[in-house]
Structures are given as structure tokens and as C-alpha cells.
Structure 1
Amino acid sequence: MSTPTRTATRYSVRAFDPADRATFLSMYETVFGRERSADWFRWKFRENPFVDHVPIIVASDDGDPVGFRSFFAQELRAGDAVLPAFQPCDTMVHPDHRNRGLFDRLNERAIERYSDGSPSFFFNFPNEHSKRGNRKHGWREIGTIPAYYRLQNPANVLERVAADRQHAAESPSRAGERGVAGTVADGMQDVVVATHRLGDRLIVDSEAALEIERATPPPADTLAAVYRRSIPDTIHANRTAAFYRWRFDNPAQTYTSYVARRDGEPVAALVVSSADDHVRLVDTLPRTLDGDTAALESLLVAALDDFADRSYVEAFGETLPAPLRFRFYPDTQAPLSTVLRPTSRTLFARNLADEIDVESSSAATWTFSRLELDTT
């Protein structure tokens, strides 16, 4: 018997207990390097309106938690069907207990627990370390969902790239290269921002009848009304008012919405979340992006102008009608692929019921924005 199999027998796998929360949050900071609060845990797991329990499986050693397999519950819509779905998230094993088969044990227990068809399926975007484990337990690779970036401050972006390249400044020659690049980029910053603004305004015709409203937090009822105007047939989060209210109550993020009204009626919306040096396009409406392209592009220009001082703007999946039109480039292709590590995500899915066969789907049958991701 191999050592990993033998040592794995000392562990037990069980459902989450409220007493596990403190260990979960402590381990989260250890594994992911980010602190999360009890309010965040309550929002994400206890107050999630799409599940009646805390959907976390725990691996313990003599009663002490050493690993967690967690799930982010959502309602996903496919045509007229609205189905419960779980997105595996925040999976972690304490560094002292890795390579002992705990990921497999947690996966097996989760499949066993939810094999009754509620949820209808799992879907997620595993990293390179967990793809093999997901395949082993029945997940199927569906396809790649693109990420797009619009660079707005070359100096900051180049500085981050240099920092990511294993402290390049430790080498005198490399430090010199970085200094020259930074000086050139600093000189270009104002030119880049001005060029972006001019280009945006030339692309979009200002519509006198269009009113733009900004709000923090976003108005859930209004967003749901815009969503209902044009619902796509593809698989996506069912955007009810209740969903929006819960989703934007995330205490770890701040969300701002831009709503376009024509003759008083809301016709398009855009939601962003802001960080220190960048901003993310979280959601756009209508989800059938050709539903009101002119209004959506006017909102995009307004948001880009408000956040012109940020280093870059990120979009994920089907968020923009024409990314290249507004100088959003995929990080899997040149020019960005030469300087940035790709963040495009590979979609995996696993059937748990007969309502829908997600394992046979393709990337084209899903419509994602960052709103479907558990991390935004």
C-alpha cells in the first residue's frame, strides 16, 4: 500500500459544522494570502438564497479541519429552464496535509452528497493544479472563456510585469531596462489616456434622449427589468431582483451601476467593481449584447471616462459587444500575451441530474460575465 493511501486513512470527511468557520477563514488567509471576514462568509454561504445549508465539505484530522471543498450556489437559466447549480470554490488543503489524497476524498464526498440531483450540475474554472482531479471525478472540459484587458497606464502595468518576473530589479542590467521602460511609459501615459478618450467619443454617437444614472449599490429591481427585456437562450445566471440584491451585497466588493434610460425606461445597464489600480466590468445588460448596442456603448464610454486614472480595465466572457472596438485585447493573443500571464479560464462541468447535459455542451452554449464567477 502506498504512503499517500495509508496516511489518508487517518482523516475523516464530513459536512460543515458552524464551529469550523474560524478555521476556514484562517486557512483561507494562509492558502490564498487574502483576509476574509465573518460577514463575507455569512454572505457567501449562510445567506445565499439558493441553498438551504452551508455547502462545504470538510476534511479533518482527529476532529480538526485541515481541508475544505466549498460550493457557490446559483440558479442558472438555459432557455426556459431554471436550474440549481453549484460552482466549486475556495477549495483548500492546509500545506501540512497536502499530497495525501484529500482533494479526491473531498470530491468523492461532495458527489455522493449531491448525487440526488440538487443541484442539477457542477461548473467551475479549476486552476492547473486541480484540473486533473476534476477530470478524474467526472468533470468534462467544455472550452476556454476569454478575458480582455484595456491598458490605460503603461507605467503601472510595466512595473507590475517587472515585479512578477522574479525581482528583475536585483540584476543591474535588468533594473536599467525597467527604468528606461518606466520613463518612456510615464511619458506616454497622458497620451494614452487622451487617445482612449478621443477614440471612445469618436466611436459612440451621443444620444440626446439617453439619460445615464450612476448608483452604488446597483438598483436590483431596475437591473432585473432590463435583463427581462432580452433573455438569452444560452446557459447563464438567472438575473432576478433577489439574485442581484444578494450578489451585490458582497462585503468584500463595492459595485457601481450605470443605467441608460430612454424616455424614462431603462434600456441598458453596466456594473463595475473598483480596485486600487484597476476596474472590472462585472455585468452588462441586455445579456444579448446586440439588444441595444448604442445604449450599452454609451454606458461603457461613461464608465471608462470615470475610471481613466486606473492602470487597466478588465472584462470577462461576453461582456462587450465588440471588445477590439474599444481597445480591449484578449490576454491569450499578441500583444498582451507577450507581457501578461493569461487569465482566461477553462470551463469544466459535471452532470448531477437529467434536466440538462452540460457535459456535452460547448463554450458557445454558455454566456458569462464576471457576475457568474464566485470571486468577484
Structure 2
Amino acid sequence: MSTSTRTTTRYSVRSFEPADRETFLSLYDTVFGHDRSTEWFRWKFRENPYADHVPILVASIDGDPVGYRAFFAQEMRIDGTVRTAFQPCDTMVHPDHRGRGLFSRMNERAIERYTAGEPSFFFNFPNENSKPGNLSAGWREIGTVPAYYRPQNPVSALEDRIGVAPTSGDGLDRRAADSGPATAVTNTLRDAITTSHRAGDRLLVESDSDLAVEYYETPPADTLATIYRRSIPGAIHTNRTAEFYRWRFDNPAHSYPTYVARRDGDPIAALVVSSGDEYARIVDALPRTIGSEPEALNRLLVSALDDCADRSYVEAFGETLPAPLRFRFYPDTRLPLSALIKPTSRTLLARNLGEEIDLESSSIASWTFSRLDLDTT
């Protein structure tokens, strides 16, 4: 037996145990560069209403965890029926133990454990590192879903040229004096761009609309579920119940400002947003049949964009906006962004786990996604 074979056989793959949580969180920080809390872990895995266990497999050597293959459980609506699906997520192997086949071994164990039971299928948008391993384990490529980006402020490029660099504080490293010409130019240009955006956006919606727009710091789960039920799409998507919304937006790592449009007092559309220091992200849009309430969704979008005017860009994923180009959202799958941005984690893969349904032969047109359908927002 070769040395590499002997080394490989020292590894084992097992189910998650409570004592693994701290190592999981530590490795998450090492691999992904994000510090996640025990509250986040509890929300994502232990309090998930669609799994009766923590759906994580652990690769270990001599009893010490060195790799994890986790799954994000959710209900999916398919042809009017509801099925449980697992979305692989947070897959990681310690840098010292890569290249030993651990990803493949955890995949094999997952397929063995979950075939012919719950869940009905796997689906995910793997990155370029894990995509080959998924394909070799039976996942099938369905198609690519675009992400849309709206550049909001090109001033950062100018700042680099005139000696005012971004920082993690107030956004500027004052290499030029606050009262100097460089700062004056960038501030004036930034204000002009923001004003232009706002004026242009407002021209795209009807000012005399009978719609009333409401703002919520916390998403109103029952209202969102009501809007969803008004027009449920036939394409495959996450089943949006009030229970789902309450759990999904309880993620302690993010906040989700929500905009609701009402007509004659009835909620007819909603937009959910999250944001970071530099960007804002459209998380969900309702109704999921986007074209059924375009005026209302456009009104909500303008309200959200107005509140996010200080962000460098705004992102939307999949079927979220009725007319993305109209509001200067450009897909990363077409020019001009396709020449500048290489889409990552945009290709949908699926794998059947039984004979109940066959999603491996589906087309991308059979699915409809917003950012909410992904394992993280």
C-alpha cells in the first residue's frame, strides 16, 4: 500500500455531533474569512424547520474534524406539490488536509445517507472549486442564472487617481485635506451622481399612482406570505409560507428592510433588501410572478434605491425585477458586464435522490429564483 493510500484511509466521515460546532465555526472563519456566531449556527442548522437533525457531515482524522459538508434544508414547490430539498452549503476542508479526496468522500456519504428518503433532491450553485466534484458525483448542470448589478457611484475610481483612497471607516482616507480641491471634486461629483440617479428613477414610475408604500425594519411574515399566495408561479421555487419567512429572516448576520405596496389597503407587492458597507442586495420580490405587478414593484424599487443611494452598487439575482435594464441593472451574463465580471456561483446543478421526481433533466426555464432561494443572503 502506498503512503498516500495509507494516509487517506486514516480519514473517516461521520454525522455531525454537538461538540463539532466550535470547530465548524473556527474553520468557517479560516476558509471564508467571516466570523459567524453560535446564534447564526443555531439559526441556520438547529432551528431550521425543514430538517429534524443537523444536516452536516464531518471528515475527521484521528477523531479531529478537518472538513465539513453542510446542507441548507428548505421546501420547494414543484408542479403544485411541495418537496424537501437540501442545498449544499458551507463546504470546507482545512488547508492542511486538501487534495486528499475528502470532498468526494463527504459527497458519497451524503448521497448514501439521503437517497430514497428525505430530502427528494439536492440543488445548488457551486463555485468553480466544488463544481467538478459535484458533477463527478452525479449532479447535472441545468443552466446559468444571471446576477444584475447597478453601478451607483463611479467616484471610487476618481478617488484613486487624485489621491483619496477608500477605507473601512467613513469611506475616505484623507490624504488630501478635507478642504482641499480633491475632496471638493469627489464630494461634488458624488452628490451630482446621486441626485441624477434619484431624478431618473422617479421619472420611471407614475407619480399619481393609487399605491401606498410602507416600510418595515423587520419583514412582516404574514403579509409576505399573503402576497406570495396571490400569484404562485408554476416554476420550481422555494415554498414561501409565513413560517418560512419568520425563520428565514431571523438570520442574525443580516437585517432585512422591507417595502410593501398596498392598493385599497390590500398588500399586493413587496421588496426585501439587505446591505453591506459597499452594496445593497435585493433579496426577494413579491409576487413571484414578477410581471403581474410591475408598477407596484417598480415603485418599491425606487423607494429602496433612494434609501440605498450611498451604496456603491446594488445587486439583484434571478427573477427579481420587472425591467432591470430600465433601472440600469446590467446582467453579468451579457455585455458590457460579461467582459468585466466572470460570473461565479451562477450555474444551477441538481441531483435526484430517488425516483419520485426527475429534476436532472429539467431546463433552467423550469426554475425561478431570487436571492432568497439561495442558502445565504
| TM-score, scaled relative to structure 2 | 0.90
Aligned residues: 356
Whether 1:306 aligns to 2:307 is yes
CA, structure 1 residues 158+350, in 2 after alignment: closer, same or farther (shift >3 Å)? Answer: farther
Kept in 2, the 8 Å contact 1:146–1:330? The answer is yes
- Counterpart in the other structure of 2:229: 228
Give the stretch that moved more between structures: 275-284 or 353-362. Answer: 353-362
Assess if the C-alpha contact under 8 Å between 2:159 and 2:186 holds in 1. no
Question: Would the aligned equivalents of 1:332 and 1:344 in 2 still touch at CA under 8 Å?
Answer: no
Match of 2:12 in 1: 12
1:207 positional shift: 4.0
Q: Deviations over 1:203-256 (max 9, x none)?
A: 111244211111121000000000000000000000000000000000000001
What percentage of aligned pairs have identical amino acids?
Answer: 70
Q: CA deviation at 1:353?
A: 2.1
TM-superposed CA distance for 1:124, in Å, is 0.5
- For 1:3-82, list aligned pairs within 5 A: 4-82=4-82
Match of 1:148 in 2: 148
Aligned with 2:291: secondary structure? coil
Aligned-pair Cα RMSD in Å: 2.0
3-state SS, counterpart of residue 42 of structure 1 = helix
The one-letter code of the counterpart of 1:32 is F
Question: Relative to 1, partners in 2 of residues 1:82 and 1:68: Cα closer, same or farther, differing over 3 Å?
Answer: same
**What letter is aligned with 1:89?**
C
Give the drift of 1:5: 3.8
2: distance between equivalents of 1:8 and 1:348? 28
State the partner residue of 2:244: 243
Aligned partners of 2:352 and 2:358 also within 8 Å:
yes
Q: CA deviation at 1:186?
A: 6.4
Distance, in Å, in 2 between the alignment partners of 1:185 and 1:359 is 51
What per-residue deviation string (whole Å, max 9, x for no partner) do you get for residues 10-45 of structure 1?
Answer: 011100000000000000000111100000000000
> 1:369 corresponds to which letter in structure 2?
S
Equivalent residue runs for 1:267-346 within 5 Å? 267-343=268-344, 345-346=346-347
Which one has a larger percent helix, Structure 1 or Structure 2?
1
* Aligned counterpart, 1:361: 362
Distance 1:206 1:329, change over 3 A: same
Unaligned runs of 5+ in 1: 161-180
Aligned partner letter, 1:91: T
- Partner amino acid, structure 2, of 1:142: I
Could you say if the C-alpha distance between residues 153 and 110 of structure 1 is closer, same or farther in structure 2, counting changes exceeding 3 Å? Answer: same
CA contact (8 A) 2:128 2:345 kept: no
Q: 1:358 to 1:157 in 2, by over 3 A?
A: farther
Distance 1:248 1:60 in 2: 33
Amino acid in the other structure paired with 1:135:
L
Letter in 2 for 1:252: A
Mapped pair 1:124 → 2:162: no
Alpha-carbon shift at residue 108 of structure 1 (Å): 0.4
Q: TM-score, normalized by length of structure 1?
A: 0.90
Name the SS for the 2:203 alignment partner. Answer: helix
Report deviation, 1:183.
Answer: 10
Aligned to 1:171: none
Per mean C-alpha deviation after superposition, the further-off stretch among 324-333 and 260-269 is 324-333
Query: One-letter code of the match for 2:155?
Result: A
- TM-superposed CA distance for 1:329, in Å, is 0.4
SS in 1 for 2:156: helix
Residue number in structure 1 paired with 2:167: none
Question: In the alignment, is the contact (CA less than 8 A) between 1:154 and 1:188 conserved in 2?
Answer: no
Aligned-partner Cα distance in 2 for 1:123–1:2: 36
CA contact (8 A) 2:46 2:54 kept: yes
Distance 1:139 1:327 in 2: 35
Aligned residue for 1:315, secondary structure, equals: strand
- Is the alpha carbon distance of 1:158 and 1:340 closer, same or farther for their aligned partners in structure 2, counting shifts above 3 Å? farther
Q: Which amino acid aligns with 1:214?
A: Y
**Structure 2 unaligned spans of 5+:** 161-181
Instruction: Look up the match of 1:96.
Output: 96
SS in 2 for 1:20: helix
Write out aligned runs for 1:127-276 (5 A): 127-156=127-156, 188-276=189-277
Amino acid at match of 2:324: P
Within 2, Cα distance between the matches of 1:49 and 1:59? 25
- Cα deviation per residue 1:245-283 (whole Å; 9 max; x = unaligned)? 000000000001100011110000000002111110000
1:159: Cα distance to partner? Answer: 7.3
Instruction: Measure the CA separation in 2 of the matches of 1:82 and 1:112.
Output: 23
Paired residue secondary structure (1:244): helix
1:186 and 1:346, CA in 2 relative to 1: closer, same or farther beyond 3 A? farther
CA distance in 2, matches of 1:120, 1:43: 23
CA distance in 2, matches of 1:158, 1:284: 34
SS in 2 for 1:358: coil
Alignment-mate amino acid for residue 269 of structure 2: A
